[in-house]
Structure 1
Amino acid sequence: MSTPRHTIAQLCAAVTAALPVLLAAPAAVAAPQAPPPSTAIGGERLGLPGVQVDPSADAPALPTDLTGQSWIVSDATSGDVLASYNPHLGLPPASTLKILFADTVLPKFDRNAVHRVADEEIQNIGAGSSLVGIKENLDYRVEDLWRGVFLSSGNDAVHVLSHMNGGIQPTVNEMQARADALQARDTKVVSPDGYDMDGQLSSAYDLSLFARSGLRNPDFRMYCATKEAMFPGAVDRNTGQRGSFGIANTDRLLGKYPGLIGVKNGTTTNAGSTFVGAAERGGRTLLVTVMHPASYQRVYDETAELLDWGFAAAGKVRPVGRLVDEKQAGGEEPTGQAGGTAGAPAPPPHPASDRPAADAAGDDGFGPGGWTAVLVGVVVAAGAAVALRRRAVARAGRTWR
């Protein structure tokens, strides 16, 4: 059977003329696509830049003099985020990373246990580190070491406890695993004490997750709320008696801000000032994290201002996100928790994959094989055009039906 060339041309022209109709069809039946998945842990708005708050008409205004590069106000009990500013911005955490260290290691040792410090346990501590004053070849109770961590932000105490826990690197690995379990995906742990290290980052959101988890431990809560304590000193060579000296919590709000539970402050050259504060008032516990404000003192002032605002705004603002819960056993995320990588855009929907068409071999005389080739070619061309339309529609936010 042979087919005249003019017939082939007419068929091709007819199909070509029909292509605009085929391409227009999806738009006519398109329906609005469901909102894309959240781009940040805790809710889509927490991944957006700038201030996020959803107040009612009678809600108080946020403070206007805030200089922190990142901050967040949340309810420690419900996890509701009342307001935020770039909460997933990755920044050096300084000693506030000790919150994660404590949440990871504190449950492992009896606070009344005694440990004799070996010389190597207090070596290789970063230059300029804050120290509580631990000496080698002396015994320390675990609770003394933790006071050294929380009150004096002692990197020497962190190193001793890390060695008790199997070493510096194993402790770093455990902290990273703990951060992952808490869904703190902005956090990269390099040192257990928060000392400035290349690549070490966290965020206001993640630090709030660590604090919320830590505060569930009564010992953690006790240590971070302790304002002053006595710390074991050296042995007097003349009397053989061991002395002690006083240490004070470096948290400048503790004992000054009404209802402050504490948590942790931190300052380094690279990180600037960072603070995580928790306060309780009227049966409500709020968490505020402020990172990298304009000056050292501002971190406390801005935390106090945000706590004041949070207590005044409670019940008058709608949550803009939430602090997610720890992953369930088996690595599953709790139902209803937002997933995804903080700050990363959600991947676009994948268009339906086109089935590959087999190559159609035809002859110059348009015999039976050539006829089949032309029809296949025309259909493939039409299908490719429709597929292109599908992609364009998907990019425009419509669903192909």
Structure 2
Amino acid sequence: MRPRPGAPKVPDGLSALSWLVADAGTGEVLAAHDAHRRLPPASTLKTLFALALLPALPPGARHTVTEKELADVGAGSSLVGVKEDRTYRVADLWRGVFLSSGNDAVHVLAALGGGRRAAAARMQETARALGAHDTHVVSPDGYDAPGQVSSAYDLAVFGRAGLRNPEFARYCATVRASFPADGWSYGIQNTNRLLTGDGVDRYPGLIGIKNGYTSRAGNTLVAAARRDRRTLVVTVMNPRRGGSLAVYEEARSLLDWGFRAAGRVDPVGSVLPPRSRPPTGPGSLPGAGAGAGAGTGADPEAGPAGVTVVKGGETGPGWSAAAAIAGAAVVGAGAVALVLRLLRLKGGHSGRG
């Protein structure tokens, strides 16, 4: 942090191994601690999974799950309850990812995207395009795997980029939803406690994004909140004190500080894309990254450049062919072929739930 006279002090008592506070609109990093330290991300890596796969998978498409797609879900994974031989809309599966952190839903969506290896490769490509160079993807669901790492910086980049995608922003802000079963549905609730108020006080103005936990990663969180026309993104990785709820309380402290400090500290870096970020001075964070096409002062809720956004896809028939292909083109030529296959599937399956 580079404070100006009268700027508030960074909160005392922060125990996270790594953290960062950024302004989502300007991309300015207001303060950070060891932000490029490479650490296991747990389910916060699902933010990158969504960035990479959302443009390629029309939300209204329906898919019947196979046994093979669920065969390699890791032991002890968080699950939403996806079952083989049931038909789900893609939008249902995304809610399972964002709310229940369901690794079963991730595996099915990854299969629709060409398989886990293809999904991991697409995630890696997306991270590099965003200027996020600390991340190495092995398991798309964030399940602990040798060599799988990210950083507070990269996760803030993914969170900011996600807010620029209306589908991502809507899913990550959803508190409760219904998940389909055989002829009925059951309720699911977001696992982000700052959003739900489960065990901690809800944070005023919180708009998502994603929490995570594994035994190697500890508790991790990317959170965003809006106040007085300003949106902040905070990353907290593996607090060392305070138990399982400390990640939320440390994020709360950093958000409170960020809203007080914005405009009263000089930025120490930027989470804008490399081509958009301003020159940085001595003491600034190295690296860059954010949503493709983002610029200084960009609206964090605007869609990524080149993506055709079709509203109402969750409750209506889904993307049109033109919109789906336009979105897939951002990810790559292989995704265009995938979308064409999914569009054919839409007419061939009858959904349950």
TM-score of the two chains, using structure 1 as the length reference: 0.67
SS at match of 2:193: coil
Residues 1:119 and 2:60 are matched in the alignment: no
Counterpart of 2:292?
none
Matches within 5 A, 1:209-358: 209-233=157-181, 235=182, 242-255=183-196, 256-294=202-240, 295-325=243-273, 333-334=275-276, 336=278
Matches within 5 A, 1:2-401: 53-233=1-181, 235=182, 242-255=183-196, 256-294=202-240, 295-325=243-273, 333-334=275-276, 336=278
Query: 1:93, 1:191 → 2: CA distance?
Result: 11
Letter in 2 for 1:108: A
**Per-residue CA shift, 1:329-375, capped at 9, x if unaligned?**
xxxx457567xxx889xxxxxxxxxxxxxxxxxxxxxxxxxxxxxxx
Query: 1:74, 1:282 → 2: CA distance?
Result: 16
SS at match of 1:184: coil
Does the C-alpha gap of structure 1 residues 261 and 94 become closer, same or farther in structure 2, counting only changes over 3 Å? same
SS at match of 1:140: strand
Q: Contact between 2:156 and 2:235, CA under 8 Å: does it hold in 1?
A: yes
TM-score of the two chains, using structure 2 as the length reference: 0.76
Query: 1:315, 1:77 → 2: CA distance?
Result: 13
Query: 1:334, 1:57 → 2: CA distance?
Result: 29
Runs of 4+ in 1 over 6 A off after TM superposition: none
Deviates further, 115-124 or 277-286: 115-124
Gaps of 5+ in 1: 1-52, 236-241, 328-332, 345-401
Letter in 2 for 1:200: Q
Query: 1:177, 1:98 → 2: CA distance?
Result: 15
**Per-residue CA shift, 1:301-346, capped at 9, x if unaligned?**
0000000000011111111111131x6xxxxx457567xxx889xx
Counterpart of 1:354?
none
| Rg larger in structure | 1
Letter in 2 for 1:101: F
Letter in 1 for 2:190: N
- Percent of matched pairs sharing the same residue: 55
**Per-residue CA shift, 1:24-45, capped at 9, x if unaligned?**
xxxxxxxxxxxxxxxxxxxxxx
Q: How many residues align?
A: 276
Query: 1:133, 1:122 → 2: CA distance?
Result: 11
Query: 1:109, 1:322 → 2: CA distance?
Result: 30
Q: CA RMSD in A?
A: 1.5
Query: 2:153, 2:286 → 1: CA distance?
Result: 12
Does the C-alpha gap of structure 1 residues 161 and 84 become closer, same or farther in structure 2, counting only changes over 3 Å? same
Q: Contact between 2:270 and 2:277, CA under 8 Å: does it hold in 1?
A: no
SS at match of 2:194: coil
Query: 1:81, 1:87 → 2: CA distance?
Result: 10
Letter in 2 for 1:60: P
Letter in 1 for 2:159: A
- The alpha carbon displacement at 1:222 in A equals 0.4
SS at match of 1:69: strand
Letter in 2 for 1:243: W
